[in-house]
Amino acid sequence: MVKNLAPFNELEGKVILLADDDPLTSDCVQRMLNRDGFQVLRARHGQDALDIWRQRRLDVHLLLTDLNMPGIGGLELAAMLTRDAKDLKTIFISGYPDLIADAEDISASLFLQKPFTPVDLTNKIKAIINAPLHGWRCPTCQGHRYQGNLVDSDGHTTKITFECSNCGTEHMHVSEVSCFHRRCPLCGGPVLLGGYGYVGGRDGTWYLEQGCLQCKTKIVHHSPNCPTLPYTIPNSEK
């Protein structure tokens, strides 16, 4: 007899440093996070977040910070923490669209505007935590904006080909972790079926093409032995 199993929560147990000077907002956000299984380190303002960071920095997976706080604001706080940990992932929240628009050096995908729903918050956190190029800088021009071309997953690794939006240099990133993407791994946008799939015979080969509705990146999932892979060279041409 098969027992009912609880769904696997890939985010459960992740530690989030929450910095917001509004206690009502902070209470609400903490309840949202706790409900999804996150551990929350709650800071009343930027300086408080720095104090917590000094004690628990090795535990923190993500910084969730309000942009507008007295003293040390969200952008300054993120800059200070990422000097210690360049791979620290950050989400900025704000009820003021003008503040978001004025932060030109920060990708729009890292912002979440108040008010937001628990689903909005969870989806944003998933997109950021799973973003393989978070914190990337172009080795040619030091730009940080990029345009994805292809996400290619074979069940063992994920290969991302992309180009720097500033100088146009092409790059490739390979990750050992592979999964089906409900959201685009590059921008967090919705992923739609590209219109066709391929299923093989007894060897179980398969091929599925998807595309990001937001940034137009092509996302391909396939079995390692699928003959319809992009970039696969036919035997006759080898």
The enclosing domain of 30 has a CATH number of 3.40.50.2300
Reported as a pLDDT band with limits 50, 70 and 90, residue 159 is confident
User: Of 103, 129, 155, which residue sits at a domain end?
Assistant: 129
Residue-number span of the structural domain to which 175 is assigned:
146-225
Reported as a pLDDT band with limits 50, 70 and 90, residue 100 is low
User: Of 129, 156, 189, which residue sits at a domain end?
Assistant: 129
User: What are the strands of the beta sheet with 62-66, ordered from one edge?
Assistant: 39-43, 15-19, 62-66, 89-94, 111-113
My answer on whether 122 and 20 are in the same domain is: yes
My answer on whether 175 and 213 are in the same domain is: yes
Query: Per-residue pLDDT for 34 more than 70?
Result: yes
Beta-ladder partners of 175: 158
My answer on whether 159 and 217 are in the same domain is: yes
User: Of 129, 160, 178, which residue sits at a domain end?
Assistant: 129
Reported as a pLDDT band with limits 50, 70 and 90, residue 98 is confident
My answer on whether 155 and 215 are in the same domain is: yes
My answer on whether 102 and 19 are in the same domain is: yes
